[in-house]
Amino acid sequence: MIELSNPMVQTAVRAVRQAAALMRLIQRETVGSSLTKVDKSPVTVADFASQAIIGRVLSQAFPDIPLVAEEISSALRDPAGENTLAQVTQYACKVIPEATHESVCDWIDLGGAEAGKRFWVLDPIDGTKGFLRGDQYVVALALVEVGLPQIGVLGCPNLRDASTPDMEGSGSVVLAVRGQGAWSTSMAEGDDQWKQLKVSSRSDPSQARLLRSFEAGHTNVSQIDGLADWLGVQVDPVRMDSQAKYAVLAAGGGEVMIRLLSPDRLDYREKIWDQAAGAIILEEAGGRVSDLSGEPLDFSQGRTLKNNRGVLATNGLLHEKVLQGLMAVSA
């Protein structure tokens, strides 16, 4: 059974629950204002509000543990971001009534720390484009120690029982602690009915459900198609963006997720916040996560997985077969 009395576990779950509930409110109110980062991905009011809330909660509870997170507040501090900052602060006040423009920016910038031996890592909204479509996204938080995630929490507002899309339900909180399994409960405050997650037992490649993104910017779609053909897959894929895919894999709702390198971005390396929480959740549910060569993911190299190329996540039973297929289709 998972040890829920651990202060770090309690704080991580509380922070993600609060942020994910607010993200659902913002999504339902259809916040259309967004900025654009250098890499052209949209940054919504929700990204900033989520990071501000979680940064503040973690810094109050564990001031000596740094936070590595995706966003910075420079665009909000610029006069051109004044209206967006006002919206971010307005929403942050729903959780932290004393929030001000300045404090919100300061809480966001707590995420600018460097990765060390022990740190929190946060993606305030993983799947921003899914969020903007009114579809799947998650709030993803992990505690990393000596290059390995030790705690992982996903707030999944649009998933029921960590596996089923449900835009009107209570959502899911998915939690893993190393050596204590993966568990889920609803996002409802005070719900402590935790259910243990286990990966699918499917071992026949032809029955492998591939979890595939709507967003194809960081992958190689044609190579994934070739892999599916090589495996002889006869079942439909599960289409879903964000680390919600990790939750679904952990709950047995699919068997294979893969992040290949886009042909025009062969030097791309995954950001640690895109994988840390989901990776430990899947592993603790009995699955396996590696890079495309079968090597473990190394979270000790700063803000990127610079020692790893791509990501393969499976129920474990199919991992070696998929690695063989990758070698075959990339030869």
- Any idea where the domains of the chain sit in the sequence? 7-196, 205-330
User: Is 229 marked active-site?
Assistant: no
Residues 6+ apart with CB under 8 A from 321: 205, 231
Region 205-330: CATH code: 3.40.190.80
Average pLDDT, the chain: 93
- pLDDT tens per residue across span 287-315: 999 999 999 999 999 999 999 999 999 99
Catalytic annotation, pick one of 11, 47, 135, 291: 47
- pLDDT tens per residue across span 84-142: 999 999 999 999 999 999 999 999 999 999 999 999 999 999 998 888 888 999 999 99
Which whole number is the average pLDDT over 20-32? 83
* The pLDDT value given to residue 39: 58
Band of the pLDDT at 218, cuts 50, 70, 90?
low
Q: Inform me whether the pLDDT recorded for 195 exceeds 70.
A: yes
Tell which CATH classification among 3.30.540.10, 2.40.50.140, 2.50.20.10, 3.90.1580.10 matches the domain 7-196. Answer: 3.30.540.10
Q: Inform me whether the pLDDT recorded for 33 exceeds 60.
A: no
Catalytic annotation, pick one of 89, 128, 185, 314: 128
User: Is 100 marked active-site?
Assistant: no
**Closest-CA residue to 272 (of 294, 307, 244, 302):** 302
Beta strands across the sheet bearing 256-259:
238-239, 210-212, 256-259, 311-314, 288-290
**Closest-CA residue to 139 (of 24, 58, 299, 5):** 24
Q: Inform me whether the pLDDT recorded for 32 exceeds 60.
A: no
- pLDDT tens per residue across span 238-281: 999 899 999 999 999 999 999 998 777 778 899 999 999 999 99
